[in-house]
Chains A and B, each alone.
Chain A
Amino acid sequence: MAHPLQLGLQDASSPIMEELLYFHDHALMIVFLISSLVLYTISLMLTTKLMHTSTMNAQMVETMWTILPAAILTSIALPSLRILYMTDEINNPLLTIKTMGHQWYWSYEYTDYMDLNFDSYMIPTLDLKPGELRLLEVDNRTVLPMETPIRMLISSEDVLHSWAVPSLGLKTDAIPGRLNQTTLSATRPGLFYGQCSEICGSNHSFMPIVLELIPLKHFETWSALTS
């Protein structure tokens, strides 16, 4: 989850998010290097009394500042495409969960081998217990097994929503009439928070998502209890 005064991305809890973190560091480093180079050059230009008023051609520098940006862009594009294709890999999910966006809550359906269906509303600020997170806690958390690929099918019952969990690198639009698939795979147990990411009306900021990832054995116990 996010913490106050956070500067970077949330800690990664899925393999794809780890890759995205590294990619973000790589791209940001390039951005910082180029910005410092440009700022340095500007400062050099502005702090000299020398002048050169007869530049006719500058073949060498023109070639350099064409080839070098092309190389930099390639070094950004290649890892980016690698990660993009990684998100499309075929994996064999162990479980299928459906989530439907409503105004203004999420509902979850576990129908592989049980008829479980529940709504997940945000806990109002006045009802929070001490230590709970404002605008992020929900009454019924989505319980899932960790370290297993899970097929998430996301749709909506009314308007556009978007189901996002940043620490797992997930964000998928919930579109009425369409069933969007994404794969969820957490590397560790814990609580992972997210918020609706597509404007959907007055309470768009108040329909969070909380995933509770637990070991498979405990998930089997939980699912036996709830079915």
Chain B
Amino acid sequence: MLDVEAQKPPNGKWWTPPFDPRFPNQNQTRNCYQNFLDYHRCVKTMSRRGKSTQPCEYYFRVYYSLCPISWVNRWNEQIRNGTFAGKI
């Protein structure tokens, strides 16, 4: 998992996930989960092709901002144990 420090924007420039029209309503659970999946899929595909994973940072920042820390830790634990239910 990449370091948050590396993505920190310069002081005075604020970044937060923009409005995503795929998830316009109050329930943002899927927004968080989808970006988490997209980040891992992006990293897997880019690594397989031998390319830099820098473009995947967008998905990382979005899911890191949106998803509760406990959810992220639980999912990462499941990925490490091979029990994660999502398709990556």
Contacts and interface: CB of A to CB of B under 8 A. Distances in A.
- Of the four ranges (under 10, 10 to 19, 20 to 34, 35 or more), the interface on chain B belongs to 20 to 34
Interface centre among A94, A98, A155, A179 (most CB of B within 10 A): A179
B14 A112 contact: yes
A8 interface: no
30 contacts: A90-B19, A90-B24, A92-B18, A92-B19, A94-B14, A94-B16, A96-B16, A98-B66, A98-B68, A109-B68, A111-B4, A111-B64, A112-B15, A112-B65, A113-B4, A114-B4, A114-B8, A153-B28, A153-B68, A155-B68, A177-B29, A178-B27, A178-B29, A179-B28, A179-B31, A179-B32, A179-B66, A180-B26, A220-B12, A224-B11
Interface residues of A, number: 28
Contacts, number: 67
Interface of B: 4, 7-9, 11-12, 14-19, 24, 26-29, 31-32, 64-70
**B-side interface mostly:** loop
A35 interface: no
A119 interface: no
Contacts of B7: 113
Contact of B14 (A95, A100, A117, A181): A95
Nearest to B64: A111
Contact of B29 (A157, A172, A179, A182): A179
A93 B19 CA distance: 8
Interface in A162-201: 172, 177-182
Contacts of B24: 90
Nearest to A156: B68
Contacts of A151: 16-17
A46 to B, nearest CB: 50
B50 to A, nearest CB: 30
B18 A109 contact: no
Contacts of B19: 90, 92
